[in-house]
Amino acid sequence: MSLFEHLKLIEDPRSHINLNHDLVDIIFLVLAAIASGCDGWQAIEEFGQENLSWLRKHRDFDNGIPTRHSIARIIKVIDTEILVMTLFSWANRLREASTKPLIAIDGKTLR
């Protein structure tokens, strides 16, 4: 399963009237922005605006990038435990596919 297929398993807690932006799009935006060094909601929004064409290579982003207030509000209502377990599950699938016993994220296996 891809990252996006894993993220689709997260329940969207928003009401039907607040679904202008796809939940998977928003989570992907936040993950990509954080991986790129962004450290706040405004920085995440700016990252999205500056990299929208790249983001659209991976997801639709039909309604563009949400405001920083919307991003924060949406991320804050997601069950953190489920998000973390989803990301762990995805990383574990990658590990299994590579037939490695573990994934070293600190670079020690490179030495």
DSSP code per residue over 38-95 = --SHHHHHHHHHHTHHHHTTTS--TT-PPPHHHHHHHHHHS-HHHHHHHHHHHHHHHH
Count of CB atoms situated within 10 Å of the CB of 74: 19
What is the maximum span of the chain, computed from C-alpha positions, in angstroms? Answer: 52
Give the predicted TM-score (pTM) of the model.
0.86
Per-residue pLDDT of the chain (111 residues; tens, 9 = 90+): 899 999 999 999 988 877 899 999 999 999 999 999 999 999 999 999 999 999 999 999 999 999 999 999 999 999 999 999 999 999 889 888 888 777 666 655 555
Query: What b/e sequence results for 33-67 when a residue is b if at least 16 CB atoms lie within 10 Å of its CB, and e otherwise?
Result: beeeebeebeebbebbeebeeebeeebebeeebbe
Q: What is the C-alpha end-to-end distance of the chain, expressed in Å? A: 30
